[in-house]
């Protein structure tokens, strides 16, 4: 597993999962590693699936986030991934945020806690995005 999350590294240290850290500068607010070094390390790897969250989803703008530095790291990982899965709670639908992470052509899965409205269900179907609801 390749991660820039210090929290994930700590939790996974107790497991049998092989963990590769991206290195970089620690953002103390989010416990994530970011910056030029992080982007360079990510660019050396390919991942089958990138799992990420975001601050908002907008049908016209795509997946959005509030922190530009973190968004740049996520964009780099998206470029290195075969597939991209978004893990978002229901409050993220129809919510805008500061910076675009990805348009929906880069998203393969949206996994959420409640079924979104009919417009989102049709949008996902029309754009070949698998929508999953986990309770």
Q: Cα(28)–Cα(9) distance, rounded to whole angstroms?
A: 15
Please name the residues in contact with 29: beta carbons below 8 A apart, sequence gap of 6 or more.
Answer: none
Is the pLDDT at 130 greater than 90, yes or no? yes
Could you tell me the pLDDT band of residue 135, with boundaries at 50, 70 and 90?
A: confident
Is the pLDDT at 76 greater than 90, yes or no? yes
Q: Which of 63, 50, 64 is nearest to 4 (CA)?
A: 50
Helix, strand, coil content of the chain in percent (nearest 5): 30, 35, 35
Percent of the chain with pLDDT over 90: 99
- Kindly list the domain boundaries of the chain, sorted by start residue: 1-45, 48-135
User: Could you give phi then psi for residue 18, rounded to 5 degrees?
Assistant: -75, 125
Q: Could you read off the pLDDT of 8-45 as tens digits, one per residue? A: 999 999 999 999 999 999 999 999 999 999 999 999 99
Could you tell me the pLDDT band of residue 58, with boundaries at 50, 70 and 90?
A: very high
**Residues 86, 104: contact at Cβ < 8 Å?**
no
Task: Please give the pLDDT value at position 107.
Answer: 98
Instruction: Output the average pLDDT for the chain.
Output: 96
Task: Please give the pLDDT value at position 66.
Answer: 94
């Amino acid at each position: 597993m390749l991660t820039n999350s210090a929290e994930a590294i700590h939790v996974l240290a107790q497991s049998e999962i092989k963990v590769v850290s991206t290195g970089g500068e620690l953002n103390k607010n989010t416990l994530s590693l970011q910056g030029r070094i992080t982007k360079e390390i990510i660019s050396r790897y390919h991942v089958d699936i990138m799992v990420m969250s975001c601050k908002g989803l907008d049908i016209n703008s795509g997946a959005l986030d509030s922190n530009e530095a973190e968004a740049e790291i996520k964009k780099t990982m998206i470029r290195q991934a075969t597939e991209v899965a978004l893990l978002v709670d229901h409050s993220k639908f129809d919510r805008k945020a500061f910076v675009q992470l990805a348009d929906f052509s880069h998203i393969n899965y949206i996994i959420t806690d409640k079924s979104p409205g009919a417009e989102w269900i049709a949008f996902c179907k029309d754009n070949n995005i698998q929508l999953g609801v986990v309770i």
